[in-house]
Structure 1
Amino acid sequence: MIHSQLRRKPVRMLQLLSIFSFLFLAGCNGGGSKEVYPAQPGFNEEGSDKKALEIADKMMEALGGYDAWQNTRYIAWTFFGQYNIWDKKESLFRHEKGNVVSVLAMSKGGGRVFDKGVEETDTVQLYNKLSTAYTHFVSNTYFLFMPYKMKDQGVTLKYRFEAKGPNGKPADVLRLTFDRVGISPDNMHDVWIDKETHLPVLWAFYGSKEDKEPAFIRKWADYKDFNGMKLAVNRDSQMDTLRISHLKVVKSVPKALFLSPTPIDKSQIK
């Protein structure tokens, strides 16, 4: 088992990652529900708009259905100069940036970090590096999978208005706010859902609920099918580092690759 090869860490690290895992991963492995888009425990359904919930349900159907998301095991992708492999079922995350490799066992509160193949053994440095890797996990996964996280714990979903999407077609704009969850609960998101395709086509990110203008806006386009689950691979950025590449959805990843202390050959994930 991969878990057995990830060393247990001090209580502080265990507590931090356990809390983070509960907050972010609650929606990854729960279920059994046959709802179109089942809300996770702690989702603010009472404070959300009925119209927003109906639009989100249609969106989930257009994306391939919640079961396709739940049944996905390994996802690998490059974003912002970082290579990621996420084992959704076991809550494991491999992160590569330059020569630094981090492997987190989030549900167990442990992990290992290597720099040029040499393992980090200093407790304080290890704690800091694992915490940084977890921050990358949250931001990198949300950037790619945000539509599947709209009914997670602490989220409130509101309908804002109808507007034109980047293609000039009408879209419904939904707003996501958060209540004391995650690593940046003051963030806010607006998502344009195309009224014809029911797919997200635009995303506006606000660093704070008090902000009047978004920090950035990204187009979501070029949806590809990955074992029944649709993901947008085009963020319409002129920066190569913000483009999603090496995106693979697979049923298995060899343990030797997942735990490799050095960056792996991405072509081996297939």
Structure 2
Amino acid sequence: MKLAIKIKSLLLFSILFTGSINTQAQNPTEKAKEIALEVMEQMGGVKNWNNTHFIKWDFGKRTLYWDKWTGDVRVENPEQNLVVLVNINTLKGKAFKNGELVKNTEEIQKLLEQGKKWWINDSYWLTMPWKLLDPGVQLIHIGTDKLPDGHTADVLQMTFENVGVTPENKYLIYVDQEEHLVKQWSYFPKFNDKTPKFTMAWNNYQNAGNVLLSFDRLNGTFGPKNVVVSKQIEDKIFTAL
């Protein structure tokens, strides 16, 4: 009986040991998903991100307001003297040009579509790490590299399948192995491009509500600025000029 117990114990140990080895030898997709989940946890966790309600920020010459729960967005573009109020889920809304409500149906539709495109672009520059596991996103781990500060980063290749306005894009996302945060990204307009159009830091993480967001970045003037996360906002922000 004791011999049988010992044999069973050895078999169980062998199974557990083999399982451990397989976990460490993950395929590139599984490893990328694990790293992405670590990033989101480090930034405050998915629950806190889902509970984040209103976000306001500046991107370039635009100011955006976003109700994450309803999909209502306000885009102010002073350069074009334009304000677009659009729901990104229904593509319904209104627009004001030169302080006047746009009434032409065809023009309104174009402006609402443009407003959504602005939101897609501008919000991605702010919230990309939270979207690493979105439907249609294809994420794989392709190796490691050194960051400018000397830290080692896991490099994730991100591509898209039938999502977004530019599904042909490719990104390389650099995740600091020590801090478990995205610290750099490279953008390729086409999947087969060998050289990125840009490589930029993704730094200066700050508390925004109950999560971390990267803004007012320290390596240049381009990117999201003046981010404010709030639980309440004036109703007219999404309904009136």
Q: Gaps spanning 5+ residues in structure 1: where?
A: 1-46, 262-270
- Give the TM-score, by structure 2 length: 0.84
Aligned counterpart, 1:256: 236
| 1:140 corresponds to 2:122 | yes
Structure 1 SS opposite 2:42: helix
Pairwise CA distance, 1:236: 4.1
Instruction: Tell me the residue number matched to 2:60.
Output: 80
Aligned to 2:3: none
Do residues 189 (structure 1) and 189 (structure 2) align?
no
Larger C-alpha radius of gyration, 1 or 2? 2
Counterpart secondary structure, 2:186: strand
Asked if the contact 2:96/2:102 (under 8 Å) is kept, the reply is: yes
Residue from 182, 204, 227 that aligns with 1:200:
182
CA distance in 1, matches of 2:76, 2:96: 10
Asked if the contact 2:204/2:218 (under 8 Å) is kept, the reply is no
Deviation at 1:181, TM superposition (A): 1.2
Q: Which one-letter code corresponds to 1:76 in the other structure?
A: K
Matched residue SS, 1:190 = strand
Residue 212 of structure 1 aligns with an amino acid whose one-letter code is K
Give, in whole Å, the separation in 1 of the partners of 2:116 and 2:162.
Answer: 18
Q: Name which of 129, 138, 144 aligns with 1:156.
A: 138
8 A Cα contact 2:86 2:93, kept in partner = yes
Residue in structure 2 matching 1:217, options 184, 199, 202:
199
Question: Residue 96 in 1 paired to residue 66 in 2?
Answer: no
Q: Which residue of 1 aligns with 2:209?
A: 227
Matched, 1:170 2:158: no
Residue by residue, what CA displacement relative to the aligned partner does 1:51-76 show, whole Å, maximum 9, x if unpaired? 11111111111111011110011000
**Distance across 2 between alignment mates of 1:237 and 1:202:** 11
The structure whose residues are more often helix, as a share, is: 2
Distance, in Å, in 2 between the alignment partners of 1:48 and 1:90 is 35
**Contact 2:125–2:224 at 8 Å: present in 1 too?**
no
- 1:82 counterpart letter in structure 2: R
- Residue deviations 1:109-145, cap 9 Å, x none? 3110001220111111111111111110110111110
Larger relative contact order (Cα-Cα within 8 Å, sequence gap ≥ 6): 1
Q: What are structure 2's unaligned runs of at least 5 residues?
A: 1-26
Q: CA deviation at 1:226?
A: 1.5
CA–CA distance in 1 between the matches of 2:84 and 2:147? 38
Distance 2:51 2:192 in 1: 37
Percentage identity across paired residues of the two chains:
31
Q: Secondary structure at the match of 2:179?
A: coil
Q: Is the partner of 1:221 in helix, strand or coil?
A: coil
1:66 corresponds in structure 2 to: 46
- Alignment-derived partner of residue 102 in structure 2: 120
Q: Indicate the RMSD between aligned Cα atoms, in angstroms.
A: 1.5
- In structure 2, which of residues 220, 226, 234 is the aligned counterpart of residue 246 of structure 1? 226
TM-score calculated relative to the size of structure 1:
0.75
Q: CA deviation at 1:103?
A: 0.4
Assess if the C-alpha contact under 8 Å between 1:100 and 1:113 holds in 2.
Answer: yes
